[in-house]
Amino acid sequence: MSIWRRISDFITSTAIDAFSSIIEAVRTAFEGDPETRRRVAFSIAMIALSAKMAKADGIVTQAEVNAFHEIFHVPPQYQDQVSRLYNLAKQDVAGYEAYATQLASLCGTGKPNCKMLEDILDGLFHIAKADGALHDQELIFLGTVAEIFALDEDKFDRILARHVNRGQADPFLVLGISRDASFEEARKQYRALVRENHPDMLIARGVPEEFIAIANQRIAAINAAWEKVEKDLKAYESV
């Protein structure tokens, strides 16, 4: 069953007047079905935090809206329900820190599927950069979410490097290797990242199939970084 059908049925059958109540309702409604709960939790996390982040810099641009829809391919029959969730997230008195804390628990911080929290942060970066710049308030938002998700500085920098050009060190940051790594060390890390970020791996840890655009973009960034690093390391070792 489509994740959007799941969410639509859940919202239709659940009495809600604030987004914070949705999070607890998900925990209860899918208590006996952890796989579906992770998929629904991921989707709701992206909707809620996207809504909050859209105003982080004070302006919601059309580019940010378009980026949201690049990740969220919502069938027409379910768009009203998704819009309802998005608007609730914007209007709820709870701040994004409270959402992120609840969602981290729901998605499994410290548990085997906590990698999914990196996927959520990756999607938020995609939306934040859509207007051509990563604003200071957006970076603060993303950094705070990363801290709540218990993602260390290295992981945050690696995600940041995939989305923001930071100059000469960028491909090494994307791959998570030092500039003095050997060719074999770099290739081993590259292959590990490709395996870890394959779309099938994201699905296995709870990312709905509808959001695999995140995985495809990530793999493209990893491949581009490896192409640059491979060329540089081969040239260096041949000297």
Locate 93 and state its tokens. Answer: 């008195």
pLDDT digits (tens, 9 = 90+) for 100-121: 887 787 765 445 456 888 888 9
pLDDT digits (tens, 9 = 90+) for 197-210: 888 888 887 777 76
Q: What are phi and psi of 52, to 5 degrees?
A: -70, -40
Checking if the pLDDT of 239 tops 70, the result is no
| pTM recorded for the entire structure | 0.79
